[in-house]
Copies of this chain bind each other. A is one copy, B any other.
Amino acid sequence: MLRVGVVGFRGYSGAELVKILVRHRGVEPWLVEHRSDAAERPRPRGHRALPSLAANAEAVRAADLAVVFLATPAEVSMELAPTMLEAGARVIDLSGAFRLGQAETYRRWYREEHTQPELLAEAVYGLPEFYRERIRKARLVANPGCYPTAANLALRPLVESGIADRTAGFICDAKSGVSGAGRKPTLKTSFCEVSENFSAYSVLDHRHVPEVLQNAGLRESEFTFTAHLLPLDRGILETIYLRTRDGCSAERILGVYEERYQGEPFVRLYEPGTLPDLRCVQHTNYCDIGFRHDPSTGRAVIVSVIDNLVKGAAGQAVQNMNLMLGFEETEGLLCGC
């Protein structure tokens, strides 16, 4: 059994990570204490806590952690990543700290300076469907954002295959459950503010946009993104609008997806005209993609759904770990998460 550590295990992504790792047959999860502010939930008597250690290089080295997951805010990840690497662990970071190739892009979208620019070049973007081989050998993996995971998996095959008419642009109308905002209490995520409400936010200005541009190979003017907050716990549904080139058909779109995702364990397709909803993917590591196409006008509407805490965070992180440590890629991830 290899030991792996989780920093930020009290947050929603971190807790989901621990839940998956406990089920994993090849690793032993350790809790890495960094800061402890969040309240504990009631625990039954006899509840056996996982082993824990402090978030410093000596402790990590002593515990011989093979991988450390950083389920922490970007600024904490920038601080801890070098420490963990130095201690000999490989790092999977769930924040946005290492997802963008250049410090300048980071500065623009995150509105703060990147403190570890030299690690940016080394970091591998952890979207296994597109970077599998590089992930296997990576020392530092930048686990993708939740919105970009659903968007990139839906968009990239259509862009790469050339069946989308890029001059018409791509619009992604994205809706997410509240857990995507993290566990820290804020007015914006208070029950009485969210329940029976629905709102748009970060219109034309979401920090996940550059991740999509960079990976789907689009220019900023070609990609419009709006985020919305759903009154539910977990799940992302993205409704994506684009135009296909002349002569395209639903069969052709399906064919492009099928060819691209053949053999992929965590991408599922639907018959043209059939659309997945959040229930199809909640508590799983799947990204489900359905669409409807109007051949007379070339309009296509794609629906892409994931569980933001699983394929959009912890599940994808474990998928990356499996690649890095040589496990079966689906280990720990097939059991209803």
Q: Is there contact, CB below 8 Å, between B23 and A199?
A: no
Please tell me if A200 contacts chain B, counting CB pairs below 8 Å: yes
A39 nearest CB across to chain B (Å): 5
A209 nearest CB across to chain B (Å): 12
Q: Is there contact, CB below 8 Å, between B280 and A204?
A: no
Q: Is there contact, CB below 8 Å, between B203 and A275?
A: yes
Q: Is there contact, CB below 8 Å, between A190 and B192?
A: no
Q: Tell which of A44, A189, A270 has the most Cβ of chain B within 10 Å.
A: A44
8 Å CB interface, A154-213 against B: 168-169, 171, 173, 175, 178-179, 183, 185-201, 203-205
Please tell me if A279 contacts chain B, counting CB pairs below 8 Å: yes
8 Å CB interface, A17-68 against B: 19, 23, 38-39, 41-46
Instruction: Indicate whether A277 sits within 8 Å of B192 (C-beta atoms), given known contacts A230-B198, A241-B241, A299-B224.
Output: no
A157 nearest CB across to chain B (Å): 15
Please tell me if A271 contacts chain B, counting CB pairs below 8 Å: yes
Q: Is there contact, CB below 8 Å, between A192 and B183?
A: yes
Chain B residues, CB < 8 A from A178: 191-192, 195
User: Which of A89-97, A109-117, A133-141, A231-239 participates in binding chain B?
Assistant: A231-239
Chain B residues, CB < 8 A from A198: 175, 230, 232, 235, 237, 277-278
Please tell me if A336 contacts chain B, counting CB pairs below 8 Å: yes
Contact residue among B183, B201, B237, B288 (Cβ-Cβ distance under 8 Å from A200): B237
Chain B residues, CB < 8 A from A148: none
Instruction: Indicate whether A200 sits within 8 Å of B299 (C-beta atoms), given known contacts A44-B268, A190-B191.
Output: no
Q: Which B-chain residue is minimally distant from A173 (CB atoms)?
A: B173
Contact residue among B44, B199, B274 (Cβ-Cβ distance under 8 Å from A278): B199
Chain B residues, CB < 8 A from A224: 241, 299, 301
Please tell me if A215 contacts chain B, counting CB pairs below 8 Å: no
Please tell me if A292 contacts chain B, counting CB pairs below 8 Å: yes
Chain B residues, CB < 8 A from A337: 336
Q: How many copies does the complex hold?
A: 4
CA distance A228 to B280 in the complex (A): 16
Chain B residues, CB < 8 A from A121: none
Q: Is there contact, CB below 8 Å, between A230 and B230?
A: yes
Q: Which B-chain residue is minimally distant from A186 (CB atoms)?
A: B185
A291 nearest CB across to chain B (Å): 9
Q: Is there contact, CB below 8 Å, between A42 and B274?
A: yes
Please tell me if A226 contacts chain B, counting CB pairs below 8 Å: yes
Q: Which residues of A contact B (CB under 8 A)?
A: 12, 19, 23, 38-39, 41-46, 168-169, 171, 173, 175, 178-179, 183, 185-201, 203-205, 221, 224, 226, 228, 230-235, 237, 239, 241, 268-271, 274-280, 282-283, 286, 288, 290, 292, 294, 296-297, 299, 301, 303, 335-337
5 A-B pairs in the complex with CB atoms less than 8 angstroms apart: A45-B271, A46-B268, A185-B186, A191-B233, A335-B335
Top 10 nearest A-B pairs (CB, nearest first) are A199-B277, A44-B268, A173-B173, A185-B185, A191-B194, A178-B191, A203-B292, A221-B297, A191-B191, A196-B232
